[in-house]
Structure 1
Amino acid sequence: MCLRYLGFAFLVSIPGLLHVCHGIFLGAGHSCDAPILDDGYLVPKKTTYSHEANLMYGCDNGRKPAVEGWWATIICQNGTWSHTPQCIDEQACIPLDIPNGKYKKSPKGWYDNKQSIYIKCDKGYESKNRDATAICSNGTWTSVPVCEKSIETCGEPPKIPHAVIIHQEYQELFAADSEVQYECEDGYSVEGGGTKDSITCMSGNWTEGSTCRARPGPVNGGSAGGGTGGRPTTSTGSGTSHIVEVKNCGQRPVVSNGDIVGDNKMFLKYQCAAWYKRVGPERVMCYSNGMWSEVPICKATFCSVDTDTYPALLSVGVQIIKDGETGKLRCVDQDHWLTDHYSAVRCTNGKVNLSRCCGAIEWLFC
């Protein structure tokens, strides 16, 4: 083809172009010189290697390749090796692959023994169990962090009839407080006569945007519909209300055996004390009518057994048994002076059930 377009006489007079065309026809590539490898060896060992040739390498005792495995392969790609072979201390660590997270890369390409790295999760993700540090220990990473979806993130925005999301590339997750704008199609508008509105990711859910309604006209008639201006709505006893900042609702609800944790202007987040579990929503919102949304309760996950109220039990004060578990409490051995006897005390959903008093061995089967 080169002869066809450039002309035979022209190519003959310029040998360099003829060589290029020859390479295109034959698919030839430049060869690679043998790489320099300290503290290691090449197999097979040659002076030069042809294009697309594979070259394996290993490392001396106490060293290892700077890639996964105790040996590695590099490929000659048109005069350049696929990566530079290196042998590093076998106690060093190679880079980690953290899905949905990133960290500061080492300029050396590997990390020394005992070196730690801090993982920063991408927007919409958070470190599982708040563990964000990995440590290189004798060639292996310990406590490798996991970036998981945050409970406060949102999925893709809900479909809004007669509207499209604008100035926003598609993505699967949106971080808390993310705002996306949408625009109504021609002939439709939101409350106030405009064509644009926005919705916000709040506590894992998208706020409700204004509806795109058909504009009044000779064909479809009607009037612009009302909406909520991008704020979540709810139906209360006094009508429809929307969520506002918590400072608008006055004194904060008190939850027995629970505390308010975190600091967010749009909601209160509750957490129960140890030995209690939350029943109800984790977050409490403030409505524009001055009322709070549903407040959770903290339910005990244990039974409190006052031995003084059970004549069959030896008085030892109040005993705590975790819900779903069985405790062993000693009985008053009036008729069994030779051996100790016990009652199996089981806690089920906060209620106490006592068995009859049995010997120390068979008390669980009474």
Structure 2
Amino acid sequence: MLLLISVTLTVGVSLGAPAQEITCDRPFILNGNYIPEKTKYTLTDIIIYHCKEGFYPATKRMIARCTNTGWEPRPRCTLLQVKPCEFPKIKHGHLHTADRENTVPVGKWYDYSCNDNFVTHSGSFWGRITCTREGWSPAVPCRRRCLFRYVVHGYTPSSEEYHKDYFQGDTVRVECHPGYSLPNEQTSMTCTENGWSPPPTCIPVKYCGMPVFENATAVITGARFRVNDTLDYKCLDGYENQDGKSTASMVCGEDGWTHLPTCYKSTDMCGRPPSISNGDITSFLLAVYPPGSRIEYQCQAYYQLRGSKYVTCNEGTWSEPPKCMDPCVISEQSMNKNNIQLKGKEDKTYYAKTGDLIEFVCKSGHTAATSQQTFQAVCQEGVVEYPRCE
């Protein structure tokens, strides 16, 4: 890279001739620009220069001054081969400096200290963080310090472990009392940024015993199973589970097995429950139902359910389903034909369930032509006898 600098100093050829003023030519900054731009610069003139993307300035303040030996310091932009560091942030600590810079050159360092329960990399109160080609070193300036003093439902740490300091990333083995374990049956814990993981607390170990099988056998056998262990079982020939399959699995949970291994005779299983007119079951349909299954029915609006709303599967057969009785439709046309109207209602069309009492009155200007009892009609499976007025 060439930097063209011209310094002109002319001495008078005769006594008493004044010396010419010292000037600097316009600087040539490859991959950079500057302000202010002039044809000539006089002694002590200053320029401020900036580099293009991918290049960095030779001076921290990006300022050069015209001197009697040329521009000082020499302004230049260098290819960014070594990336500077961004100004550091000390997590769980404090940086000790009065100056804040956008970028920090490689090799520069700062002193720092850490918060309580965190220590510097050197272990002393003051630490030093340095900008390197790979970034800040150390990468984790403040490391967590963990103390191992006790174990809930476990054995007390040894004297060496009790007096030892553990730092972020260190692991220590934990011994629990019989019948207890760390979560997920771990045998050690690690010092992390947030302390011990898992905490030094042993919890009761839960197991599931071998279940009693009825009309089924286990694929594998064992005395006990841990939480989340899976046990596969197979129904005996001629039997199937409530899903209509001959094989299934169950899982050991915190409160025991998810379900008991139950298999039923294939001939005792029921298919889909019978359908009814103007009604349906209240649950999702299954392909098959085990013996003893009970299904509930409900009728559509205004239809009256007659019989038990439940059906039960027994020896492969469903019990008798209920019926949904038709409602009575009291229309304006029928009431006009008989010169009557609903008592206390202004409905043009009225729906009544089987067994409902319907009260009528004569329209204004008309008198009853049937007995007074007929004006209190009862809906009977979609049929109602209307009174008549003249």
Q: TM-score, normalised by structure 1?
A: 0.31
Structure having the larger proportion of residues in helix: 1
Q: TM-score, normalised by structure 2?
A: 0.30
Structure whose CA Rg is larger? 2
